[in-house]
Amino acid sequence: MKRRRPGPNATYAIVPVNVLRVSKTRLAKNLNASGRSGLSAAMLVDVLQTLRKVRQIRRIVVVSADYEVRRIARVMRVYFLYEGKRRGLNKAVRLAIRDAKRRKFSTALVLPSDIPLITPREINRLLRLSEGFAVAITPSKDEGGTNALLLRPPEAISPAFGKNSFQRHLSIAHRKGFPARVVKLRGIASDVDEPADVASLRRLSLRNQTGRFLRTMNGTMMSRTRSNQSLIGRSQRKRT
């Protein structure tokens, strides 16, 4: 049966997700594996909830090798694409891009799963400002990485995520002769990679899943190093 073509403005959203139990290793000094996994899952839920509120997003696909991520995708009523053996970020994204092309989507939007400050308004702004461009990019807060990559058509350029991917994506687009637009958006730019990022989130008293997780996070989710530092600090305060 011939596949039905989506509408001209329909967007295929791609959210690649690492295996939760090995995610966010840079937070290991503050959170143990359980804490990092729980935080990663909470942020993923927030990103998916936001995408579901954007009318132009017609298909949301989570790409992962993690069966726990598949469970979350099912609960959130979004599609799951199993990448099999862990392929790495760019190969996982390319897998989803091929699916978007096969389903005849004209636009693909790649977003990370660790941006809990993302809002529907930001996504709509990105979609609106990217009109007429083959490539649109929202850089990370340090402008080194790529936190949103919009491709029109989905195969416009090959994804090149990793260190300095913001400039790399711009260079690839330029070499292929595609116009590219940079759209800076605070929520999308605010990925969570370092302990300072978690501290900033806790100060915001968020009402989303990430905020609830951070408020209910107990001491057993802290890393042993962090717990020991806290004990030492309390001990020193008692002596003075």
Residue ranges of E strands in 153-203: 180-182
Q: Count of alpha carbons within 13 Å of 36, Cβ hemisphere only? A: 20
The answer to whether the CB of 38 falls within 8 A of the CB of 30 is: no
Q: What is the mean pLDDT of residues 160-177?
A: 97
| pTM > 0.75: yes or no | yes
Domain that holds residue 211: 11-239
**In this structure, what DSSP letter does residue 7 have?**
P
Predicted pLDDT of residue 108? 98
pLDDT tens, 41-88?
999 999 999 999 999 999 999 999 999 999 999 999 999 999 988 779
The verdict on residue 4 lying in a domain is no
Burial class, 211, CB count within 10 angstroms (exposed 0-12 / middle 13-18 / buried 19+)? middle
The verdict on residue 57 lying in a domain is yes
The verdict on residue 3 lying in a domain is no
The verdict on residue 2 lying in a domain is no
The verdict on residue 151 lying in a domain is yes
pLDDT band at 33; cut points 50, 70, 90: very high
CA–CA dist 52, 58 (Å, integer):
9
Predicted pLDDT of residue 231? 30
CA–CA dist 122, 129 (Å, integer):
10
The answer to whether the CB of 30 falls within 8 A of the CB of 48 is: no
CATH code assigned at 134: 3.90.550.10
The verdict on residue 97 lying in a domain is yes
162 φ/ψ sector (left φ>0, alpha ψ -120 to 50, else beta): left
215 φ/ψ sector (left φ>0, alpha ψ -120 to 50, else beta): alpha
The verdict on residue 56 lying in a domain is yes
Q: For residue 126, what are its two tokens?
A: 């990105």
Q: Pseudo-torsion of CA 123, 127, 129, 133, nearest 10°?
A: 140
| pLDDT higher than threshold 90 for residue 227 | no
Counting the structural domains of the chain, the total is 1
The residues near 31 (Cβ < 8 Å, ≥ 6 apart) are 24, 39, 198, 221, 222, 223, 226
| pLDDT higher than threshold 50 for residue 225 | no
Q: What is the mean pLDDT of residues 133-148?
A: 97
Bond preceding residue 139 cis, omega within 30 of 0: no
| pLDDT higher than threshold 80 for residue 1 | no
The verdict on residue 121 lying in a domain is yes
